[in-house]
Structure 1
Amino acid sequence: MSVGKIPFLEAVNGSTVMLPCTYASCIGIKNLYFSWQFNDNGTMQKICDSVIPTEDAKPDVKKYKEYNERVEFVGKNIKNNISIVLWNITFEDGGQYICFGRNPKEKDKNHSAIFNLIVVDELRVVDNTLTIIIASAVGGAIALLMGFMLLKNLTLFVLAKLEEKNKECLVSSSGIDNTENGLSGSKADSKPTPKKK
Structure 2
Amino acid sequence: MASVDSTGSSVSRRLRSGDLLHAGLAVALLLGPWSVGGLVVSTGRVSSIEAMNGSTVLLPCTYSSCIGIKNLYFNWQFNDNGTKYKLCDAVIPDDGEVPWVHVYQDRVEFVGSSESNNISILLWNITFEDEGEYTCFARNPKEKGHNHSAIFTLIVVDQMKEVDNTLTVIIVSVLGGVIGLVIIVMGIKALVIHFQLKDD
For structure 1, list consecutive stretches of 5 or more residues without a partner in the other structure: 166-197
Separation (CA, whole Å) in 1 of partners of 2:110 and 2:71:
18
Inter-CA distance 150–113: structure 2 relative to 1 (3 Å threshold): farther
1:14 aligns with 2:51: no
Separation (CA, whole Å) in 2 of partners of 1:26 and 1:138:
50
Counterpart residue number, 2:115: 78
Counterpart residue number, 2:153: 116
1:50 aligns with 2:90: yes
Q: Which amino acid aligns with 2:65?
A: S
Counterpart residue number, 2:102: 62
Query: RMSD of the TM alignment (CA)?
Result: 2.8
Separation (CA, whole Å) in 1 of partners of 2:97 and 2:144:
21
Counterpart residue number, 1:187: none
Is 107-116 or 81-90 further displaced after alignment? 107-116
Q: Give the TM-score, by structure 2 length.
A: 0.65
Q: Which amino acid aligns with 1:93?
A: D
Inter-CA distance 107–14: structure 2 relative to 1 (3 Å threshold): same
- Number of residue-to-residue matches in the alignment: 160
Q: Classify the secondary structure of the residue corresponding to 2:135.
A: strand
Deviations 1:48-75 (A, max 9, x none): 11111111111111223xx1x2211111
1:96 aligns with 2:133: yes
Separation (CA, whole Å) in 2 of partners of 1:145 and 1:106:
65
For structure 2, list consecutive stretches of 5 or more residues without a partner in the other structure: 1-40
Counterpart residue number, 1:33: 73
Q: Classify the secondary structure of the residue corresponding to 2:162.
A: coil
Identity between Structure 1 and Structure 2 (%): 62
Q: Classify the secondary structure of the residue corresponding to 1:4.
A: coil
Separation (CA, whole Å) in 1 of partners of 2:150 and 2:76:
10
Counterpart residue number, 1:189: none
Inter-CA distance 145–103: structure 2 relative to 1 (3 Å threshold): farther
Inter-CA distance 35–138: structure 2 relative to 1 (3 Å threshold): farther
